[in-house]
Structure 1
């Protein structure tokens, strides 16, 4: 059976994640309040942020930056995107 959540990002009820996708309290908050669709949207943005900014995730500052962007995107209803990213034209 699919677990439904009231997604705070998409502002609708949608299928939830199967498990907390991130360690600690923030992972539990994501699990309870973010839909699978919103999380997939975030992971695409996260990949672009890491690639476009050439971040090294072994660096604690880079991980902190990505986490701040994640929280802004998922919980503060901000549009987050990699600096300089241009979406492919249709």
Structure 2
């Protein structure tokens, strides 16, 4: 049976992640409150942030920034996009 969560972004019960994304309290919070769909949206947002800010993901500063952004994305106001960001047209 699928792991179901009440998703913090969509405010509805949805299928959750298969396992916590991190071995920490924050990873458990995500596991209990974030759906697979929301996680997929975060992965795309994270790629955009890495590219727009030219972050080096192995540095402590980039990791701390991404955790702050992730917390805001899931549990805050959703996070803001970089001022220079232009959404791609399809």
Structure 1 Cα separation of the partners of residues 10 and 69 of structure 2: 17
Task: State the Cα RMSD in Å.
Answer: 1.3
- Classify the secondary structure of the residue corresponding to 1:14: strand
TM-score (norm 2): 0.90
Structure 2 Cα separation of the partners of residues 60 and 25 of structure 1: 19
Shift of 1:4: 1.1
Show structure 1 runs of 5+ residues with no match: none
Work out the number of aligned pairs and report it: 90
| Structure of greater relative contact order (alpha carbons < 8 Å, 6+ residues apart) | 1
Show structure 2 runs of 5+ residues with no match: none
TM-score (norm 1): 0.90
Residue equivalent to 1:47:
47
